[in-house]
Amino acid sequence: MSIPTQLKYTKSHEWVKSESDGTVTVGITQHAQELLGDMVFVELPKIGRILAQKEECIVVESVKAAADVYSPLAGEVIAVNSELESSPEKINQDPYHAWLFKLKPANIADLESLLDAQGYEKALESEAH
Amino acid sequence: MLKITPLNQAHRDMNAKMVDFGGWDMPLHYGSQLDEHHKVRQDAGMFDVSHMLVVDIEGENVRNFLRQLTANNVDKLTVSGKAIYTCMLNPDGGIIDDLIIYFLSESWFRLVVNAGTADKDIAWITLQRDQAAPDLEIKPRRDLAMIAVQGPNARAKVWQVISGAQTVTENLKQFQSATFDQYFIARTGYTGEDGFEIILPANEAVAFWKKLYAAGVAPAGLGARDTLRLEAGMNLYGQDMDEATNPLESGLAWTVDLKSERDFIGKQALLQTAIKRQLVGLLLLDKGVLRSHQKVMTQHNQSECEGEITSGGFSPTLNQSIALARVPVQVAIGEEVHVLIRDKKLAAKVVKYPFVRNGQILI
C-alpha cells in the first residue's frame, strides 16, 4: 500500500493536505476505507463550525459500521465536499482525492505535530501487531 | 484457532477479506460487498456456507422423533426430497435454533443447522434422542461442504457446471431437493432469489467452486449474504431471535403448527404466553443507517417493552436503510416511528417485509 508522501496523517487515519493559501484539506486514508468497506452515507459538518483538534466532526457509514472522523487540527470549517452525500463510494474509489472538508487552521504550525507518511506507516504496522 | 471450511484457501486465492465469524475464518467480501449483492440480485453469486452443519438422523421412524423436536410439523413432508423450515424450541418456547429439515426416507432425515449453534444443537438433539428414541443415530457431517448458488441465473449456471443435473433438478419447486451423482441439490436459499444450495463431499468443494467461477458465478461473502437476507426479510439467529424470544414474536408464526394434536417441545409455553412484541420492517425516511440494537420509539412504548432494531443496515437494492425491529404488538404497518441513532431521533416508517424478493422491490 503506497502512502502519499506529500500529505500529513493522524493515528485515527485522517490525511491532511496543506494548501498554498494556508488552509488544509482533510480526508480519510486508504487504510481507513479498506477497514470500513463500501461507504453508503457521509454526514458532513456545517460550514463555519469551529472545531477543536481531535473533535469528532463527521460520521461516515459503510455497509459494515459507522465511524467518526476527527478533525486533525483546531480551526474553522470553510468548505465541505457535498458531492460525497450522493456518491459516498468515491471515498472507496479514490480516498486521497475524495476529500471531506477544508479547514482554516487556528494555528498552521500545529501541522508539524501530525505524522508524515513514514510515521503513519509505522503507526499502521504497530496497529497490525 | 479459527475453524476453516474446505474452501478457505480458495477464498484467500480470490483475495477475500477474511473475518472471524463465530469462530470460523470466513470471507466477508472479495472486494466490494455492494457489487456482490447486486450480482446475486441480477445474475448469480455463490456463497461458501460449509460452516453450517449438516446433521443426518437415521434409524427406525425418524419422523416420530422429529414430530416432538421441532415446532413446524414434519408430517407436511410426504414426498422424498421435500423440506421445511422450522424452529427448534426449548420447553419455554425460546428458540434454540432455526433449521431446514429434508425428508429423504422414513429412516433418514437431514437437518441443516446454524454454525454458531451447531454444538449446542447436537447436544440438545442427543439429549432428546436419549430420552425419546435411543436407537436413532445422529450423524454430524463435517465430511460435507455446502455451497449456495443464488440469483436469477443461478440454476442455469449450476446446470452448465454439473452436466446431467438439469433433468433431475429443473422441476424442483421451492423447498424440494434431489440427489444427482455426488451432489445433494436443494432449491433453497437465504437471499430471496432463486437458486440452489448444494451439499457435496468436502474434498470436491474446491473443484466445484472453481468450475462455478469459470461459469461466471461471482463469489460473494458474508457481508452480501447479510444484506440480501435482510432485504428478503429472513431472520438471522442470534440477532432477530434467540432463546429469549419465541417464534410468535419473531415473525415466524407461519412455521409453528399449533393446530394439529401433535405435541412438541415448547408448545405448551407458546399456548400460554401472551404475545406482546412483534417483528416488523422499518424503512428509514431520514438519512443515515439503521443498525442492530438501536432503540425504536413508538407512541405505544411502555418501559417494559421498548422497541429495538434486531437487524439493520443499508439496502443496496433500495438505496436506503432498512431494518427488522422488535416492537410492541400495537404498532401498525404504515405508522411512523423514531429511531435513536447516536444523539439524533430519525424518522422511520413501519413496513411489511420482505423488502425485496426475486429482484423486485415490494415496499
Please report the domains of chain A, with CATH numbers, ordered by start residue: 8-106 (2.40.50.100)
- Which grid coordinates belong to B71? 415446532
Give the gap in angstroms from C-alpha B239 to the nearest C-alpha of chain A. 15
In this prediction, residue B342 carries a pLDDT of: 86
Classify residue A46 by its DSSP letter: P
In this prediction, residue A2 carries a pLDDT of: 82
Q: Do B1-234 and B276-361 have matching folds?
A: no
Residue length of chain B: 363
Interval A1-7 mean pLDDT = 89
Chain B 200-219, CB below 8 Å of chain A: which residues? none
- Which grid coordinates belong to B54? 449438516
In this prediction, residue B301 carries a pLDDT of: 65
Closest by Cα among B148, B196, B149, B153 to B43: B153
Cβ atoms of B226 and B49 within 8 Å: the answer is no
Residue length of chain A: 129
The whole-angstrom separation of Cα B225 and Cα B132 is 37
Residue A129 banded pLDDT, cuts 50, 70, 90: confident
Give the count of Cβ contacts less than 8 A between chain A and B: 39
Q: Is the ipTM of this complex over 0.90?
A: no
In this prediction, residue B212 carries a pLDDT of: 98
Give mean pLDDT in consecutive 10-residue pieces for chain B, a chain of 363 residues: 97 97 97 97 98 98 98 98 98 98 98 98 98 98 98 98 97 98 98 98 98 98 98 98 98 96 97 95 95 92 76 97 96 95 93 97 94
Quick one: CA torsion of B326, B38, B220, A91, rounded to 10 degrees?
-90
Fold classification of B1-234 is: Gyrase A; domain 2 (3.30.1360)
The whole-angstrom separation of Cα B282 and Cα B290 is 9
Cβ atoms of B355 and B231 within 8 Å: the answer is yes
Closest by Cα among B100, B204, B225, B71 to B151: B225
Give the gap in angstroms from C-alpha A111 to the nearest C-alpha of chain B. 30
In this prediction, residue A43 carries a pLDDT of: 94
CATH superfamily of B276-361: Aminomethyltransferase beta-barrel domains (2.40.30.110)
Is B29 part of the contact surface with chain A (CB cutoff 8 Å)? yes
To test the contact with chain B by mutation, choose from A56, A62, A63, A92 the residue with the greatest count of B C-beta atoms within 10 A, namely A63
Q: Is the dihedral of CA B58, B63, B69, B70 positive or negative?
A: positive
The whole-angstrom separation of Cα B26 and Cα B29 is 9
Contact (CB<8Å) B223/A66: no
Look over chain A and give the mean of its residue pLDDT values, rounded to a whole number. 95
In this prediction, residue B302 carries a pLDDT of: 61
Instruction: Say whether pLDDT at A1 is over 70.
Output: no
In this prediction, residue B42 carries a pLDDT of: 98
Residues ≥6 apart with Cβ < 8 Å to B65: B57, B128, B129, B132, B133, B136
In this prediction, residue B303 carries a pLDDT of: 57
* Domain parsing of chain B, residue ranges: 1-234, 276-361
Give the gap in angstroms from C-alpha A49 to the nearest C-alpha of chain B. 18
In this prediction, residue B238 carries a pLDDT of: 98
Chain A 60-119, CB below 8 Å of chain B: which residues? 61, 63-66, 89, 92
Chain B 265-324, CB below 8 Å of chain A: which residues? 287-289, 291, 313-314, 316, 321
Classify residue B249 by its DSSP letter: G
In sequence order, what are the beta bridge partners of B341? B344
- Which grid coordinates belong to B188? 433453497
The closest CB to that of B314, out of A43, A59, A63, belongs to A63
To test the contact with chain A by mutation, choose from B17, B30, B34 the residue with the greatest count of A C-beta atoms within 10 A, namely B34
In sequence order, what are the beta bridge partners of B18? B27
In this prediction, residue B305 carries a pLDDT of: 56
Interval A30-51 mean pLDDT = 96
- Cell 425428508 identifies what position? B103
